[in-house]
Structure 1
Amino acid sequence: MTAVTRPGRVVMVVANRIDGDSRVQKSAQSMAEAGWEVHLVGLSVARKPEHYRHGDVDYHKIPVPKMDPPRTLRRRVAGLKYPLAYRESARAGHGVQRIKAERIEVAAMAEEPGSGLLRVPRLVRRAGRKVQRVWIGRRIDQTKARDRHLARENGFLDRVSRRWWTLLLGDRVWRRLDNDAVRIELALLPEIVRLEPDLLHAHDMYPIGFCARAAAALRRKGKAVKLLYDAHEFVPGCDTLPADRFESLVRYERRYLPYADAIVTVSQPLAALLKEHHGLQREPAVVLNAPLTPDFSRPDPGDVRTACELGPDTPLAVYSGWAAPERKIEMIIEAARQVPALHVAFLVNRPNHPYVKSLIALGEQYGMAERLHFRGYVDYADLPRFLSTATMGIHPMQTGPINHEIALPNKFFEYSHAHLPLIVSDVKTLSEEVRRIGNGEVFTSGDVGSLVTAIDKVIADPESYRAPYRDPATLAAYTWERQVGQYVSLYEELLGKGARR
């Protein structure tokens, strides 16, 4: 029987490198399997565009151009206050090396044989090199002072500048405050227009703007295009970002969200927030970040316990996901220090990132490096199987930020499908769900002692926390196959239900 195909080319857009973003990868593959022609557009760290096919999806990764940051009032004042500073901070480091080289040269000159007639020129040369060193040193000092001046975020000058441009430009101020959206648009918009989609699926905050602009450009050419906005976060809740970037993103989303023909998001609390905050007539649909049901026909991915070379009786905790300072992953290491038998496996996106290196250094400082195991990501389709031999999964998400309080993150679903006992902080939505199911312990956010107590409870009786998984109904709704039906319904609504063979 010929596979059913559906009318329409779908272009999904995300402002990251795609790798490791399981929601984006799953949605692209699932909609291709449902019959649409799917292209996935994202960013590349290579110098040239990358085009390839993976599964049933065509991938297009485009490098982002470099741009100077916006000329804020603080930067303009810095230019006047430190006129001798190097334009690029890296050049100050080059200047240091030049000073060292000149000192070596002067020392070498002192040892050179020469007649008295050459003494005067040599002294002149030596004096000239000293003047050069003083000049370079002065420029280096001003560069460092300029950088300290620019590092003081959200000071008086920044607040005045932001207020002025906001009053003048309204929601269009986003271009003045932060140019990341501009850089990404320069990279991706031509590729989106080239692909001529029937449906644009904008994943997360950055693509909503330039996808709306791409749709407008295509419509001017007579091409009918629909726009679906997939809101991964509540942007007004991202207030831990630098002030200018936060204001830029809030204004950016608010300006372009009305251009979306439909909106989908990642949790019910977030859907309610979006409806209230933006005055939407219709509450966004919800597609949870649930994993695929484990597919045992796929090649065996191995397991985390074997990868860490640990026996079956060694307690093993896992953290799988994004590694960044705001995740406070060091709390897990602080707690493991007080549980001497515990090993911890970190499956993180950037094993060589400075923050990850700081975690490795912390383990070495505590004399427990052999109990910490750092690895890269595992394919999203294999992750629950890979994690299933661990003793527990930990997520130390901080309380406070709105997006933390309303989230049911990937880790909740991935740990649950691995049938792991969960240890989570007392953020509202996540802790309520763990308590409802009974598949883990909740600790007080930021309290290492509370985390240690939760770990000890799980180690003492892990099977009691696995018991809820014996009922197939516990996770029945928390599968990607169940969730993806919302995408199919929205696509059919936007593009029509007709199919061809």
Structure 2
Amino acid sequence: MSQLSIVYVWDADYPWDVRTEKVCLALTAAGHRVTIVARNRKWQPEREQLAEGRVHRMPAWKLAGPALDGALGFPAFFSPRWSRLIWNAVRESGADLIIVRDLPLCPTAIKAARKFGIPVALDMAENYPALMRDRKLGSRNATIDFFARNPRLTERVERYCVDRVDWTFTVVEESSVRLVAEGANPQKMSVVSNTPPRARAANSAQKSVAPGSCTVAYLGLLEVARGIGELIDALGILRAEHGGAFRAIVIGGGRDADLFTARARAAGLLDTTIAFLGLLPHDDALAALSAADIGVIPHHATELWNSTIPNKLFDYMAAGLPVISSDTIPCARIIRETQCGVIFHSGDARSMADAIARASAPSELSRMSAAGRSAVRERYNWEHDTATLLRSIQTFAARK
């Protein structure tokens, strides 16, 4: 493939985002020139050269002050500020194509692509309409959410975008199936998952557990729909039935973090059985996983989690952690296929506790640990997904 100039539109500050970095590093390693368009709430330099590409940040409106400047930089498809930023990046880089990450700025990227006569791809990491519905479960929505995060409006934007982009990248097969069922062209779509590099599984240790001592890890956002409340309840059941044999570390932050801390405290589990480690840098979070014995994905089986895949599934597998997951369709499919974990009934703390206890048996834990690492080495790795990414770009770039 000839060298291309590619603009990758990311709707937040950069660095850092794991998928943005992986995709852009893969494109750069393949010989392409990458420009990362990003927000600039931290008032960083407008241009910065990184290994994964040249960052083209939104100019700061310092006279407006941080709060107003941040509000006016909100990633909305109707924002003239974002339109100007993307157009300038395309013009300055001599872009051959645009890849826009997720839905909020996709209409803006489509408009820019049409103006400059270049193709545009949507990198769809989320089922955005379903994500907006899940966000309402906690009932802590601001007035702006009605306009900026309205599920019905988001559905219309998604349909508009998928019909008009030249290619759509999804992160799991179930996401592609959903879009095709809604009328999308399967010939303009491919799956590029958020998998880890093969070397991470090759370098991780085979897991074993001492009888009477098992650490369960959760890595990710702390939100009601992600099932952290049921995880806390499951740890309470395990403590009542097995004493201090089980403990948990929760790595991450989120809008419902205080709710879960209070719930664990009220149950008498805070710090003794469950430790909330907060947000950690990516490498530190992965290091914390290596000290655990089991990884858990307690997400509710909502429309969102039945059509997307959490990064943590592959992170756990690469670290050699048996995966305890609710019966969301993509996770359950991969875990059953690879035999790397145990499935429990979504929203059922008793079922989760039983699954954790089963996976903690030394023979089961060792078998599942080996199965997960093997699956990452052989199939669920970034090298495999990079090949799909590059083939897809070659396909849709050649159509123009």
The TM tier, using the shorter chain, reads 0.7 to 0.9
> 1:90-119 deviations in whole A, cap 9, x for unaligned?
xxxxxxxxxxxxxxxxxxxxxxxxxxxxxx
Distance change in 2, residues 1:363/1:485 (3 Å): same
1:231 match: 124
Which of 52, 55, 61 is 1:59 aligned to?
Answer: 55
Distance change in 2, residues 1:258/1:473 (3 Å): closer
TM-score with structure 2 setting the length: 0.80
Contact 2:172 2:330 in 1 (8 A): no
SS at match of 1:15: strand
Answering whether residue 294 of structure 2 is matched by residue 392 of structure 1, we say yes
1:384 to partner: Cα distance: 5.0
Answering whether residue 121 of structure 2 is matched by residue 192 of structure 1, we say no
2:223 match: 324
Contact 2:201 2:319 in 1 (8 A): no
2:140 match: none
1:180 to partner: Cα distance: 5.8
Percent of aligned pairs with the same residue? Answer: 21
Aligned letter for 1:345?
A: I
1:40 match: 36
Query: Matches of 2:128 and 2:262 in 1, distance apart?
Result: 34
Distance change in 2, residues 1:327/1:182 (3 Å): same
Alignment root-mean-square deviation, CA: 3.3
Query: Matches of 2:226 and 2:57 in 1, distance apart?
Result: 27
1:296 to partner: Cα distance: 10
SS at match of 1:404: coil
1:295 to partner: Cα distance: 5.7
Structure showing greater radius of gyration is: 1
Answering whether residue 280 of structure 2 is matched by residue 377 of structure 1, we say yes
1:243 to partner: Cα distance: 6.8
Which of 179, 197, 207 is 2:105 aligned to?
Answer: 207
Query: Matches of 1:450 and 1:491 in 2, distance apart?
Result: 43
Distance change in 2, residues 1:377/1:52 (3 Å): farther
> 1:45-70 deviations in whole A, cap 9, x for unaligned?
32566542332322234366536xxx
Contact 2:201 2:317 in 1 (8 A): no
Query: Matches of 1:48 and 1:186 in 2, distance apart?
Result: 21
> 1:367-415 deviations in whole A, cap 9, x for unaligned?
33223131323436x76565233110001111131x3113332111111
- The count of corresponding residues between Structure 1 and Structure 2 is 363
1:443 match: 344
Query: Matches of 2:202 and 2:353 in 1, distance apart?
Result: 38
1:347 to partner: Cα distance: 2.0
Which of 282, 287, 291 is 2:187 aligned to?
Answer: 282
Distance change in 2, residues 1:295/1:444 (3 Å): closer
> 1:160-186 deviations in whole A, cap 9, x for unaligned?
xxxxxxxxxxxxxxxxxxx96246x33
Distance change in 2, residues 1:26/1:449 (3 Å): same
Which of 279, 298, 310 is 1:409 aligned to?
Answer: 310
- Decide which moves more: 52-61 or 282-291: 52-61
Distance change in 2, residues 1:317/1:270 (3 Å): same
Contact 1:387 1:415 in 2 (8 A): yes
Contact 2:318 2:376 in 1 (8 A): no
Which of 363, 388, 391 is 1:489 aligned to?
Answer: 391
Query: Matches of 2:81 and 2:202 in 1, distance apart?
Result: 38
Aligned ranges 1:419-430 → 2 under 5 Å: 419-430=320-331
SS at match of 1:263: strand
Distance change in 2, residues 1:464/1:410 (3 Å): same
Distance change in 2, residues 1:493/1:432 (3 Å): closer
Distance change in 2, residues 1:248/1:180 (3 Å): farther
Contact 1:424 1:441 in 2 (8 A): yes
SS at match of 2:42: coil
SS at match of 2:378: coil
| Structure 2: tracts of 5 or more residues without a match | 61-68, 137-144
Distance change in 2, residues 1:400/1:364 (3 Å): closer
1:347 match: 251
> 1:115-152 deviations in whole A, cap 9, x for unaligned?
xxxxxxxxxxxxxxxxxxxxxxxxxxxxxxxxxxxxxx
Query: Matches of 2:41 and 2:230 in 1, distance apart?
Result: 31
Contact 1:275 1:282 in 2 (8 A): no
Query: Matches of 1:482 and 1:264 in 2, distance apart?
Result: 14
| Structure 1: tracts of 5 or more residues without a match | 68-178, 304-310
Which of 178, 199, 208 is 1:294 aligned to?
Answer: 199
2:378 match: 476
Which of 13, 16, 19 is 1:17 aligned to?
Answer: 13
Contact 2:162 2:184 in 1 (8 A): no
2:173 match: 268
Contact 1:384 1:415 in 2 (8 A): no
Distance change in 2, residues 1:180/1:326 (3 Å): farther
Which of 453, 463, 475 is 2:366 aligned to?
Answer: 463
1:473 to partner: Cα distance: 5.5
Query: Matches of 1:250 and 1:29 in 2, distance apart?
Result: 31
Distance change in 2, residues 1:454/1:52 (3 Å): same
